[in-house]
């Protein structure tokens, strides 16, 4: 299992670095679109779509992404997209988590499919747009989610007492959530220091938030983004639990499926760009 995880991770890193070597942003956008189309297929399988409809969902995501690239939305998507998807996550995510895994299959399948396609497309678009802003910005956004996850894991193991969502993800605790937020705030301070020392291609998310919202506003925004990463993780766990699945698929040997790797990113990417829209006004 460890060997599979390492090999898969090395292949993904090689593809990522290869796509980032180009001055144009489209190779990375196409690579990310291929992964998000696979996630669309996984979402269909987890939501009773059947083999062919699940493939159609993946193809529909790929087609929507191709149309979006042709329309150059990856360069200038309306801010209303980011705010609308963020509101969708806050409302529908809260309702789904409150209802629990047993209630999820009771929703009409077309509604579940549509919600999945919207959040996957918007997360891909946000990722593609963040690459247009700059590699430093994009990496700082990705590292926010990774740091939140890693710090929450170790903080939860060390201090976890109060369960966060026992029926959905028994291993998560409130102490883990607070640890994740603390880890992200420390990461932000370190990255802001790096921004002042090196001539990166763009400001990081953290420096941009400080410039836009001030130190206190940036800290609150980062904590909110951490909270959204937890919601994304829990919603995917809820859907898998409702489907009786351990992993979203076996597409990434040793890692499960694409959804298993990007679940926490799905709400954070558009929400971060929604916050960045304040900078343009």
Percent of the chain with pLDDT over 90: 75
Distances (CA, A) of 252 to 110, 248, 281: 27, 10, 41
| Residue 162 backbone class (left: φ over 0; alpha: ψ -120 to 50; beta: rest) | beta
pTM (global) more than 0.85: yes
Question: Which residue shows structure tokens 């247009």?
Answer: 132
**Using one digit for the tens of pLDDT, what is the confidence trace for 196-221?**
999 999 999 999 999 999 999 999 99
List 165's β-bridge partners, or say none.
169
- Non-local CB neighbours of 58 within 8 Å, separated by 6+ positions: 37, 38, 40, 41, 44
Asked if residue 242 lies in contact with residue 102, where contact means CB atoms within 8 angstroms, the answer is yes
More confident residue, 49 or 9: 49
Q: In angstroms, rounded to a whole number, what is the distance separating the alpha carbons of residues 229 and 266? A: 8
Q: In angstroms, rounded to a whole number, what is the distance separating the alpha carbons of residues 240 and 263? A: 12
């Amino acid at each position: 299992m460890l060997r599979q995880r390492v090999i898969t991770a090395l292949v993904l890193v090689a593809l990522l670095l290869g796509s980032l070597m180009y001055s144009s942003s489209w190779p990375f956008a196409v690579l990310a679109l291929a992964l998000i189309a696979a996630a669309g297929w996984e979402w269909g399988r987890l939501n009773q779509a059947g083999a062919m409809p699940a493939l159609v969902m993946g193809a529909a995501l790929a087609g929507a992404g191709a149309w979006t690239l042709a329309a150059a939305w990856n360069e200038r998507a309306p801010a209303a997209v980011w705010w609308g998807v963020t509101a969708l996550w806050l409302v529908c995510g809260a309702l789904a988590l409150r209802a629990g895994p047993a209630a999820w299959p009771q929703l009409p399948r077309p509604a579940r499919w549509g919600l999945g396609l919207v959040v996957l497309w918007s997360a891909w678009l946000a990722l593609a747009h963040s690459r247009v802003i700059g590699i430093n910005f994009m990496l700082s956004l990705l590292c926010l989610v990774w740091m939140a996850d890693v710090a929450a894991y170790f903080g939860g193991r060390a201090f976890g007492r109060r369960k966060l969502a026992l029926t959905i993800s028994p291993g998560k605790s409130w102490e883990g959530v607070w640890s994740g937020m603390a880890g992200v705030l420390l990461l932000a301070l370190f990255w802001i220091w790096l921004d002042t020392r090196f001539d990166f291609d763009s400001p990081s998310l953290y420096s941009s938030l400080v410039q836009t919202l001030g130190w206190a506003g940036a800290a609150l925004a980062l904590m909110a983004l951490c909270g959204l990463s937890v919601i994304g993780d829990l919603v995917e766990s809820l859907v898998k639990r409702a489907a009786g699945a351990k992993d979203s698929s076996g597409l990434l040997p040793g890692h499960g499926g694409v959804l298993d790797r990007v679940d926490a990113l799905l709400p954070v990417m558009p929400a971060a760009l929604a916050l960045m829209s304040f900078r343009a006004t």
